[in-house]
Amino acid sequence: PWKAMHDPATQIWTSFIAHEQKRDQHQSSKQHGGPTMAEKGVKVFGMWASPMAIRVEWALRLKGVGYEYVDEDLASKSDALLRHNPVTKKVPVLVHDGKPIAESTIIVEYIDEAWKDGYPIMPADPYDRAQARFWARFADDKCNAAIFPVFTATGEAQREVVREAQRCLKTLEKALEGKKFFGGDAVGYLDVVVGWYAYWLPIIEEVSGADVVTDEELPLMKAWFGRFLAVDVVKETLPPRDKLLALNKARREQLSA
């Protein structure tokens, strides 16, 4: 349905409908004092191959919250996405009862707070929360930057970037010491944030011919990969491996061209 809305005539019609709906909603919300049926609920704007978007799904499923998933064509973003996230125009965006939130880690914290009586995602103690946020930031800023070159490098250059990626991941691995998950006995915020490594890294390794997360170099991380992939909410949401592999192969060729 989203793809059908992209030709100009349809766009004019759908934006007219949206305007009329909004006007009606506004009038009825004046009467009832809240969002109407049309606005209520949870929507996730994402993309099937996006590791950032999947974080949001994991968080919602841990809470047992139902949602509608809108799979965006990033080369041709929907009006709704651009309207909900005019600042960065990126996925994922969570829309809860009509109110949009962008930035995956911020969305995950929001989900934890908005459904505070459900599964606890963030640690309870302020110090532990600070640690979890620190490592999430470290992973997103440093590890991701170290992993990306592995994807495109070849030969001797690849060996060097693999070592750098391993150095980064070894630092992150410290947060796993003595625990089943980053969150302790059960999955928590940091698992949700870095969990994509468990599925995407082996694919990156296969596509680029590199070995990054090995039993010798990163035993704790490797073991955690296995445990994380066995978690129900993770199993339910992972995109098909062959499709993801094919997409990454194609991307690598594009980038190397």
Partner 1 sequence: MAGGDDLKLLGAWASPFVTRVKLALNFKGLSFEDVEEDLSNKSELLLSSNPVHKKVPVLVHNGKPICESVIIVQYIDEAFAGIGPALLPSDPYERAIARFWAAYVDDKLVAPWVQSLRAKTEEEKSEGLKQTFAAVETLEGALRECSKGEGYFGGETVGLVDISLGSLLSWLNATEVISGTKIFDPVKTPLLAAWMERFSKLDAAKAALPEVDRVVEFAKKRQAQAAAAAAASETK
Site residues for partner 1 per CB under 8 A:
87, 96, 99, 101-103, 106-107, 109-110, 113-114, 116, 126-127, 129-130, 133-134, 137-138, 171
109 vs 191, beta carbon nearer partner 1: 109
Q: Give CA–CA dist 235/228, Å, rounded.
A: 9
The pair phi, psi for residue 123, each rounded to 5°, is -65, 160
Helices 104-114/51-63 angle, 10° precision: 10
**77 to each of 7, 42, 96, 139, 184, how far by Cα in Å?**
12, 19, 20, 27, 38
The closest of 187, 211, 190, 191 to 201, measured between CA atoms, is: 211
DSSP 187: -
* Coil, helix or strand at residue 257: coil
Strands (E), the chain: 42-46, 68-71, 93-96, 99-102
Lay out the sheet containing 93-96: strands in order across: 68-71, 42-46, 93-96, 99-102
**Alpha-carbon radius of gyration of the chain:** 20
Query: Both tokens of residue 71?
Result: 């799979």
16 vs 134, beta carbon nearer partner 1: 134
